[in-house]
Amino acid sequence: MSEPILPAINSPADIKALDDAALSQLAKEVRAELISVLSDENPKSVGGHLGPNLGVIELTIALHRVFETPKDKLVFDVSHQAYVHKLFTGRRGRFGTIRQHGGLNGFMLRTESEHDCYGAGHAGTALSAALGMAVARDLRGSDEHVVCVAGDAAFTCGVSYEALNNAAEQTKRFIVILNDNEWSIDRNVGAIARYFSKIATSPMYSGIHDRAAKLVEKVLGKRVKDFAHRVETSVKSLIAPSVLFEDLGFRYYGPIDGHDINLLVRTLEFLKTQDKPVVLHIKTIKGRGYAPALEQPLKFHGLGRFEPKTGATKSSETPTYSELFGQTLAKFAETNNKIVAITGAMPSGTGLVHFAKAHPGRYFDVGIAEEHAALFASGLACEGFAPFLAIYSTFMQRAYDMIIHDIALQNLPVRLCMDRGGLSGDDGPTHHGLFDIGYLRHVPNLIHMQPKDEDEFVDMLWTMAHHNSGPIAIRYPRGIGTGVQPKAQPKLLEIGKAEVIKHGSVQPVRVAILGLGGMCEMAGAAAAMLEEKGISTAVINPRWIKPLDTQIVEFFARSVDVICTIEDHVLHNGFGCAVIEHLADQRITTPVVRVGWPDQFVEHGSVDILRKQHGLTAGDAVKKILAALPAESGARSIA
């Protein structure tokens, strides 16, 4: 048995030093390492993006065999498929810590390594960023290569085509690798996915350039060059799919087998010599080399710890907020034929698979195209439908202009459903939904809310379904909630009316804590700690971020010594700011203590660890409240 190769790979130079025959063995060892580190063979594993990385092992080996990072730039779109790149660039010793607090990030991170030239966690960014790097190289007069690796799902993003539209005009040396595996998180949809499939399955496309050129030369000779080029394009269109990339100024190559390392190396070496932007189309298999990932590509796109032999994971009997959303909306749509559901390539992540199964004619997956999704929803709303637009909070940021210009300005009843509102844990700063209150609460006409538990969540969705007088938004957390069973019949909530959960044990009540959404539980725990110290404390479930229940806020602010707000959101421009602003406008001087996330991009890690580290615990709230309480209570009794 030959000696293992991977333990000796500490830099890309070590890959270049290998014999060609050793490369397939290295690929095999990398597969085993990925499965081991992300599964429960690693006691500290929190899982990760296994399927995408299994599919790019051979490509990553070839890239580091041919190019020289950090001089040459490798830009990965989304970059969740960069685990293998991390293994090869001096981080193998820490690879067992990936996605753990204090460990390697699950995405490319410029601060983590000089080999990570561009950080990302959202799709569609790589082509524009890589083009900027190529133009910077040209302006500087240096000679490095810039390689963009983008999955086929990235080409459902409009911004990718904005980059393609400009590339040929702005540089002559630019390599784009289209990694075509027919999946983003779920299976890709739309005309672009069909286009790539058409290219890949066309037996006539291989060698099309040579055959078309020879035919043109035979018919016209070599002299009529300009006309010949037009005829060449026409000839190609007769015997092959439409040559989209060539029309945009790229030379297209492929499709080729993305798991044939030697073929990839030879092709990349050739592409290095080209003085025109090129697209290399490779076909790969998501989850290659691991049977459970091949059988369940959706599950193994990104998952927690799993049993390596079978791929089995632990499941909870309590439905997640996402699952509850999809099931509930499907139920509502049984009696309301105006309800339609829209998502951007996230039918499973948002729970809309349930809606799609029950109402396929009213379900729309538009691909990774959040801007289009918001505009599409606007059009549906204009015509009397009730669109529910389900997009993660962090991805809804991409549709911000449409929310203002197209939805709110026209006062259209689009329902914005923002999954992952709050901390997203192990995925880190690109995925935390910590900014949506800040980017929505100042938008005119828009209503925004957050439920404390599953029962209230269903009531809010019911209220949204019946709200037809303007835009309305809801934010809700990742994962499971408190386990509260929703009522058989949901109720309409009074918009802008908070819920007083606890008035305080005795008079006078000295503290009022407003715990937004799931932070109500923390507010209750903090109140219990204060009550143990003899400080009577009220607990309020705000429900409504906008409109704020000003009556409740003013009532308690005029009655207690300290108001405390707790939110799973950054403090700047958050819910607590809304309370402070209103009290300032009313010239009410009661101190407001705010508990929330700091003015920084929060790192990755488990929710519990990050809350403790950044001061979002009941104990932290109590410390802030005690520091703000006056020595002598001036609080009045609450009638």
- 553-587 pLDDT, tens digit each: 999 999 999 999 999 999 999 999 999 999 999 99
* Domain contains 634: no
Judge if 149 and 184 occupy the same domain.
Answer: yes
Q: Do 116 and 261 lie in a common domain?
A: yes
Least confident among 288-302, 361-375, 382-396, 426-440: 288-302
Q: Where is pLDDT greater, at 618 or 195?
A: 618
For 25, the 3-state DSSP assignment is helix
What is the structure's pLDDT at 187?
Answer: 56
Same domain for 282 and 169:
yes
Three-state SS string across 277-311, please?
Answer: CEEEEEECCCCCCCHHHHHCCCHHHCECCCCCCCC
Domain range holding 266? 6-202+241-292
pLDDT value of residue 2: 77
pLDDT over 60 at 232, yes or no: no
Mean pLDDT of the chain: 91
Domain assignment present for residue 538? The answer is: yes
Alpha carbons 347 and 351: distance in angstroms, whole number: 6
**pTM of the predicted model as reported, rounded to 2 decimal places:** 0.90
Counting residues of the chain whose pLDDT is more than 90, the rounded percentage is: 83
Is the same domain home to 283 and 367? no
Domain assignment present for residue 57? The answer is yes
Average pLDDT of the residues in 236-245: 54
For residues 455 and 553, membership in a common domain is answered with no
Check residue 279 and give its pLDDT.
94
Please check whether residues 23 and 93 belong to one and the same domain.
yes
Q: Determine, yes or no, domain membership for 635.
A: no
pLDDT tens for 10-28 read: 999 999 999 999 999 999 9
What single letter denotes the amino acid at residue 375?
L
* C-alpha distances in Å from residue 560, one per residue of 265, 438, 535: 71, 27, 11
pLDDT at 634 over 80: no
Provide the pLDDT for residue 215.
43
> Do both 469 and 360 map to the same domain?
yes
Q: Are residues 187 and 127 in the same domain?
A: yes
The per-residue pLDDT for range 153-176, each reduced to its tens digit, is: 898 899 999 999 999 999 999 999
Q: What is the mean pLDDT of residues 144-157?
A: 93
Same domain, 179 and 210: no
Of 254 and 502, the one with more pLDDT: 502
Asked if the structure places residue 297 within a domain, the reply is no
Q: Which letter does DSSP use for residue 3 in this model?
A: P
Residue 284: what pLDDT? 94
Whether 312 shows a pLDDT value over 70: the answer reads yes
Catalytic site residues?
Answer: 286, 370, 398
> pLDDT tens digits, residue range 581-619?
999 999 999 999 999 999 999 999 999 999 999 999 999
Mean pLDDT, to the nearest integer, of 470-480? 97
The answer to whether residue 356 sits within a structural domain is yes
- Which helix (H) or strand (E) covers residue 34, if one does? helix 23-38
Confidence of residue 200 (pLDDT cuts 50, 70, 90): low
Distance CA 405, CA 159 (A): 19
The number of domains in the chain is 4
| Shared domain check, 169 and 72 | yes
Q: Is residue 300 part of a domain?
A: no
What are the start-end ranges of the H helices in 474-632?
520-532, 550-557, 575-585, 607-614, 618-628
Mark whether 333 and 264 lie in a shared domain.
Answer: no
Band (541; pLDDT cuts 50, 70, 90): very high
Angle between helix axes 618-628 and 520-532 (nearest 10 degrees) is: 60
**Residue range 488-533, pLDDT digits in tens:** 999 999 999 999 999 998 999 999 999 999 999 999 999 999 999 9
For 607, other C-beta atoms within 10 Å of its C-beta total 17
Q: How confident is the model at residue 327 (pLDDT cuts 50, 70, 90)?
A: very high
Q: With beta carbons less than 8 A apart as the criterion, state whether 322 and 351 touch.
A: yes
pLDDT of the residue at 254 = 84
| CATH at 341 | 3.40.50.970
Question: Is position 314 within any domain?
Answer: no
What pLDDT band is residue 637 in, cutting at 50, 70 and 90?
very low
DSSP letters, 465-502, are HT--SS-EEEE--SSB---PPPPSS--PPPTT--EEEE
Q: What is the pLDDT of residues 262-300, one digit of tens each?
A: 999 999 999 999 999 999 999 999 999 999 999 998 888
Residue 147 has pLDDT above 80, yes or no: yes
Query: What's 171's DSSP letter?
Result: -
Judgement on whether residues 13 and 105 belong to the same structural domain of the protein: yes
